[in-house]
Structure 1
Amino acid sequence: MCLIHVAYIFVCLTLILYFFITYSKGKTPRRPGPKKASNIEKDPVGVYCRIRPLGAEDEECCVEMISSSTIQLHAPDGLKANRNGEYKETQYSFKKVFGINTTQMELFEDVAKPLIEDLIHCKNGLLFTYGVTGSGKTFTMTGSPGEGGLLPRCLDMLFNSIDPVQAKRFVFKPDDKNGMEIQGQVDALLERQKRDSQQSVPRTPSSRLKADPECADMISSEEACKSENVDEDCCYSVFVSYIEVYNNYIYDLLEDAPFDPIRPKPPQSKILREDQNHNMYVAGCTEVEVKSTEEAFGVFWKGQKKRRIANTQLNRESSRSHSVFTVKLAQAPLDADGDHILQDKNQVNVSQLCLVDLAGSERTSRTRAEGSRLREAGNINQSLMTLRTCMEVLRENQMCGTNKMVPYRDSKVTHLFKNYFDGEGKVRMIVCVNPKADDYDETMLVMRFAEMTQEVEVARPVDRTICALAAGRRHRNRAFRDELSRRLEEQGGPSNAYDPALLNQLMESIPAMPRCELVDPADDQTLPRLIDVLERRHRVRQMLAEQFNKTGTSPFSTQLNAKEMLLHDQRSKLSEKEKFIINQRTELERLEKKSQTLEYKVDILQKTTNMYEHDKRSLQHELETREQRLQRELSERRRMEQQMHGMVTDTKLKWEKECERRVNAKQLEMQNKLWVKDEKLKQLKAIVTESKKPERPSRQRDHGTGQKRSASPSPLHTAPPVHPTHRRSHSAGGEKWVDHKPASNLDLDTVMQPIIPNAIKVSTPNEKALSKCHKYVLRHQELASDGEIETKLIKGNVFKTRGGGQAVQFTDIETLTQECPTARYSICSSTTGCDISMCPLNLYGN
């Protein structure tokens, strides 16, 4: 009884002292914020390297682990031969290098475990994997059954550490502004009841994680770890969120959007905002409160199913987006009794750990990406290039003392994590390396970026005080209950009368302490309210003391003896039942684990099948597109062939006509020349014959007909008749002509050409040329009715005018035409009875 009064007096004195200290200062004590000192301590970015095993034993390796912190790159033999051996072996150093035999547990112990310790102590952290496609980034972050990665191990350690001091659901509630609020017990209870009524299935571990791999399959019980430095005077609650950055847009992977099978809507992108502390966050992102490792990993797997992956030439399941899994830990101190959370938002501390799986950089020449895959690869490479640029600018500002602006806003990834590089937590990077020779060029670029990143320093986060009240409240409350139970046992009362559940129920009836902050000297309500609450708490404690006295003095010993005999018999029966239940439970757990493993495999197969179906549809669409393109090309080729065939036929006919015309004209010209020669020879022969043998008639061959004929007698002194050469016009006379030939005329290249001697050829008539000539001719060309070009010679006389000028009077028009005969003259029908010796084409006789 005296112990209760002592505890009560101690609590009252503590509250009164706290009240007077607050009133004397005149303001509410707040959590001290981080002070900006001139000499801020900084730590370099922790960069680690992990080498994955080769895919095949016969592959050439280009990475060699020299020591626990150094690797060496040497160029492949083919690359050395192609580039004249200019490549040298280069070495790169890291904080630590993990070889091909490193386990997931060893990697977690060195890299991620300190970040969980910092998370529990209100410090933020950023851990991301970086490397080329197929280097093992997703395996390092997520892992596989039996080999859990960093993410499930971080969740397991966090919940193992805070499990005894977790708050009930909906006590902490996100305020949608990157902060947390504290709800009262009634509001939290109403929210829990509303959530339970909305669930259609019971909340059991097997139903909650149905179709999701159990976290126990990822991490064995021997590898479980926990933090020992957890403040028992605080209550904790864990919230998780999962987003992806795809094509420089942010999407929430945990958002439950209604599905419309008729007109499905694409997911809506999210935007980045800045809270009141100048920290960046994703507005409208879903934050799920989780209470166990299995539940948290189930939420992660739910979002993982929505993440965008695709099949490329380098990786069967290549990530096409950057994924960010955020673990947010909210913690708040307990009140002076150690029973309830302080209803003060300013006392809430929120820390977060971001686990980032960056998409791999890739060269399109190797992946042979096209269409959407090419656009995805371009956006991935652009965001990684922005990350490199930010690191380079940060290093230059720190080493050279410059003040260049860091281009965080050029990419959503760098913009989201700008606070970490400005000193809001630790930053660690795991560089994953594939040692095969094909990735040598990309691996060298990754090594250079990692070497440069190690030179960037990030401000060390400042420790934050959780609460100014005295520590050990929960421990003292537990000790009080143990002491109370011990005294009841000593007095002969039942030890189970004050078990923890009953004691909690009695203690919850004690009213909570109200806010006792005085900000106004004229406040006359706070003190009466405080006095009223203290009086009620005193009455409740008196009732507890009376109940304790009654229970302790009642005769329970006789009842206990009778009950012990009954309990002994029941315990023997229960032991047998417990063995049976344990066996059944073991078998049930084995079957559940087997069922979950099979469901996980089915899910993977379904995912692979969907991916194959998508590839099949893409290939079918591409095949149909190429077939349509081929059909169009074939039809276009046939059309071109028909068009070219028509053009060739027309050109052939045209040239055949032209050749026939030219041949006929040449034949006529040669025939005319031959006729003139024959006439001259006949005349010469007649003269010679008449002069030598006037008395004998001579017979000569008619060259025109090819038959012999008798020469008619003629006198000696009379010359044989001479046929004068035919002249087309007077233009061949001795007059002087002005030959006006416009420059636009075409040379037809015919046998008969208008040749004018003593002519002055001009393209434009002028007075000087007209004054020297008597005749004028103009060559005019136009198109005849049959489509051939027709040349007209317009002739005239030149005479002087009274004014001293020159005038032309047109007197005659000659027309020169050419046409293609419809049939060759060389083809003579036998039915006409034409004598071949009389044919005009028989130029040389028989």
Structure 2
Amino acid sequence: MNGKTTEIKNPDDMSAEPKRFAFDHSYWSHDGFNERSDGYYEPGNAKYADQQMVFDDLGRGVLDNAWKGYNCSLFAYGQTGSGKSYSMVGYGANKGIVPIFCDEIFKGIEEKRKTAGKDEDYQVSLSMLEIYNEQVRDLLNAKSMTIKGGLKVRQHPSKGFYVENLTASSVNSYKEIDGRINDGTRNRTVAATNMNATSSRAHTIVAITFTQKQPNETGQSMTRTSTVNLVDLAGSERADSTGATGDRLKEGSAINQSLSSLGNVIKALADQSMGKKKVVVPYRDSTLTRLLQNALGGNSKTIMIAALSPADINYEETLSTLRFADRAKAIKTTATINESPTDKLIRELREENARLMEMLKTGGVVMAPAGGSASDGNFYNSVYF
């Protein structure tokens, strides 16, 4: 990692020029840390990126956009054992983006409530699911694990794909949301392979819905709702490397199939962003891509983490991940603030009124009176440029 550039050399041909990929951030967190007495890995040199640095660069932007009312998505992609779950969830004292985000949002709510009036209200709810062998399971409801075929994925005409009967748990503090996430994490499907002792055998999506009710400038109540999707994808893997057989082999096949569908969706979206015509985005090819439709190509501000393994035996997988992330850079999403139609209309009218008043002050608009000239002083609402 050199600044924002990641370089990779083929271990079988070290004399060849390295392949270089440029990203918004490029972190090294394999070694170069010092372990504190509480178990936290702090930087031992300028090269090492700790969990707090990653959150400040990535998670902080998700948090700020959630407060503004935007939908946000953050997902980690990479081969098994590369550190996706470590980045998203963390381990021990080294908390990942998900728990730090939850802690920070409740700290912000507490600060707001100190000065909030009676008309202000803040609500947070949590849902947590996994996609195992193309079936959706509710991690906050253990009974859903026994439903044949899993929970149903439906499509709403305006909101897109959603999971029917998914548990949405209301939480009022970081302690509550941390407890619920820990409950869901214990229900996750994990298993040991030759490459990872705690390999995720399913994709996990943590969805946090944040609703704000605040009075606007006129004193009327305004509601904004933000949905934050934090996605920990299962790792791509090769059967000969993981030693997978039986159920592990079936799980790995389903994981690779859904990740292949994700790659096809990202390629199609990148082609669209570059101006190619008549591109069909194959969202329906897998359960994962259906549920990530909004995050990938819809109303969302989205961040992707590409987790890499520094081991030379993983050269091909690492190069594949870098190319995947390089394609994802080209995708453009259009995010809008989520507010009620009435609130949106009022806000747009106020903005338009302010714009016209500013143009009046600068002489750019003449307000014409009914049946007369502008000098008559009898104005009405037609605007002439």
TM-score (normalizing by structure 1): 0.37
The question of 1:245 aligning with 2:131 is answered yes
Give the C-alpha shift of residue 232 in structure 1. 8.8
Q: Which residue in the other structure is 2:150 paired with? A: 269
Pairing 1:333–2:268 present? no
How many angstroms does 1:121 deviate by? 1.4
Aligned to 1:458: 333
**CA deviations over 1:603-636 (Å, ceiling 9, x no partner):** xxxxxxxxxxxxxxxxxxxxxxxxxxxxxxxxxx
Q: Note if 1:366 corresponds to 2:241.
A: yes
AA paired with 1:297?
Answer: D
Query: In 2 relative to 1, CA 165–274 (structure 1 residues): closer, same or farther, beyond 3 Å?
Result: farther
SS in 2 for 1:257: helix
Amino acid at match of 1:102: A
2:129–2:205 contact (8 Å) kept in structure 1: yes
- Asked if structure 1 preserves the Cα contact closer than 8 Å seen for 2:267 and 2:327, the reply is yes
Give the corresponding residue for 2:205. Answer: 324
- For 1:436, the equivalent position in structure 2 comes to 311
Match for residue 137 of structure 1 among 81, 84, 96: 84
Would the aligned equivalents of 2:66 and 2:210 in 1 still touch at CA under 8 Å?
Answer: yes
Partner deviation per Cα, 1:189-220 (whole Å, 9 max, x = no partner): xxxxxxxxxxxxxxxxxxxxxxxxxxxxxxxx
8 Å CA contact 1:423, 1:461 repeated in 2: no
Query: After superposition, what is the alpha-carbon deviation per residue over 1:778-819, rounded to whole angstroms, capped at 9, x for unaligned?
Result: xxxxxxxxxxxxxxxxxxxxxxxxxxxxxxxxxxxxxxxxxx
Partner residue of 1:447?
A: 322
Partner of residue 163, structure 2: 282
Q: Corresponding residue for 2:110?
A: 163
Other-structure match for 1:103: 50
Amino acid of the structure 2 residue aligned with 1:312: T
Q: Displacement, 1:333?
A: 3.3
Aligned-partner Cα distance in 2 for 1:69–1:230: 41
- CA distance in 2 between counterparts of 1:365 and 1:232 reads 62
Q: Tell me the distance in 1 between the aligned counterparts of 2:66 and 2:217.
A: 25
- Tell me the secondary structure at the aligned position of residue 13 of structure 2: helix
Q: Distance in 2 between matches of 1:229 and 1:401?
A: 51
CA contact (8 A) 1:235 1:334 kept: no
Other structure's SS at 1:383 match: helix
1:96 is paired with a residue of what secondary structure?
A: coil
Matching of residues 59-138 of structure 1 within 5 Å: 65=1, 67-76=2-11, 79-80=12-13, 88-100=17-29, 101-138=48-85
> In the aligned structure 2, how far is the partner of 1:80 from the partner of 1:435?
16
What is the distance in 2 between the residues matched to 1:243 and 1:121? 26
Which deviations, in whole Å up to 9, do the C-alpha atoms of 1:223-250 show, x marking residues without a partner?
xxxxx99999531100000000111111
**For 1:75, what is the secondary structure of its paired residue?**
coil
Do the aligned residues in 2 keep the contact of 1:165 with 1:236 (CA within 8 Å)?
Answer: no
Report if the CA contact (8 A) 2:128-2:204 is conserved.
yes
Alignment partners' CA distance in 1, 2:207 and 2:117 = 22
Alignment of 1:722-741 (within 5 A): none
SS at match of 2:274: helix
Matches of 2:338 and 2:151, distance apart in 1: 32
Where does residue 315 of structure 1 map in the other structure?
196
Which letter maps to 1:243? L
Which amino acid in 2 is paired with 1:249?
Answer: Q
Q: In the TM superposition, what whole-angstrom CA distance separates every residue of 1:103-128 from its partner, at most 9, and x where no partner exists?
A: 11111011011111111111000100
Judged with a 3 Å threshold, the aligned counterparts in structure 2 of structure 1 residues 348 and 460 are, in CA distance, closer, same or farther, namely closer
Q: How is 1:10-21 mapped onto 2 (pairs within 5 angstroms)?
A: none
Aligned length: 326
Alpha-carbon separation, structure 2, partners of 1:247 and 1:352: 25
**1:333-388 per-position Cα deviation (integer Å, ceiling 9, x unaligned):** 359998xx96xxxx543211000000111111111211111111111111111111
Pair 1:391 & 2:324 matched: no
1:335 to 1:397, Cα distance in 2 relative to 1, 3 A: closer
Cα–Cα, structure 1 residues 267 and 141, in superposed 2: closer, same or farther, change >3 Å?
farther
Hey, what's the Cα distance between the residues in 1 that align with 2:115 and 2:77? 31
Q: Cα RMSD over matched residues?
A: 2.8
Report the 3-state secondary structure (helix = DSSP H, G, I; strand = E; otherwise coil) of the residue aligned with 1:274: strand
* Structure 2 residue 79 is matched with structure 1 residue 150: no
- Summarize deviations over 1:392-412 as a string: whole Å, max 9, x none: 111222324312210001011
How far the C-alpha of 1:456 sits from its partner, in A, is 1.6
Question: Aligned residue for 1:558?
Answer: none
What letter is aligned with 1:89?
Answer: P
Deviation at 1:279, TM superposition (A): 2.7
Q: Corresponding residue for 1:299?
A: 180
- The CA distance in 2 between the partners of 1:320 and 1:116, in whole Å, is 28
Determine which structure has greater relative contact order: mean sequence separation of CA pairs < 8 Å that are 6+ residues apart, divided by chain length: 2
1:797-812 equivalences in 2 (<5 Å): none
The structure-2 alpha-carbon separation of the partners of 1:229 and 1:446, relative to structure 1 and needing over 3 Å to count, comes to farther
Please tell me whether the aligned partners of residues 160 and 294 of structure 2 are also in contact (alpha carbons under 8 angstroms). yes
- CA distance, structure 2, for counterparts of residue 245 and residue 370 of structure 1: 20
Deviates more, 1:288-297 or 1:248-257: 248-257
1:458 counterpart SS class: coil
List per-residue Cα deviations over 1:240-289 (Å, max 9, x = no partner).
0000011111110111529xxxxx94676112223352332211000000
- After superposition, the Cα gap between the structure-2 partners of 1:439 and 1:273, relative to the gap in structure 1 and judged at 3 Å, is same
Greater gyration radius: 1
Q: Percent identity?
A: 30
Which runs of 5 or more structure 1 residues have no equivalent in the other structure? Answer: 1-64, 167-227, 259-263, 470-846
Structure 1 residues 312, 92: CA separation in 2 closer, same or farther (over 3 Å shift)?
same
SS in 1 for 2:195: coil
Q: Which residue in 2 is equivalent to 1:484? A: none
Cα distance in 2, alignment partners of residues 107 and 438 from structure 1? 26
Q: Distance in 2 between matches of 1:403 and 1:336?
A: 45
Judging changes above 3 Å, is the alpha-carbon distance between structure 1 residues 149 and 249 closer, same or farther for their aligned structure 2 residues?
Answer: same
Given that 2:225 and 2:338 are in contact with CA atoms closer than 8 Å, whether structure 1 keeps it comes out as no
Contact 2:142 2:187 survives alignment (8 Å): no
Greater strand share, 1 or 2? 2
Structure 1 counterpart of 2:34: none
The AA in structure 1 aligned to 2:60 is K
1:618-661 deviations in Å (ceiling 9; x for gaps): xxxxxxxxxxxxxxxxxxxxxxxxxxxxxxxxxxxxxxxxxxxx
Residue ranges of structure 2 left out of the alignment (5+ in a row): 30-47, 348-385
Letter in 2 for 1:280: F
**AA of the residue aligned to 1:244:** E
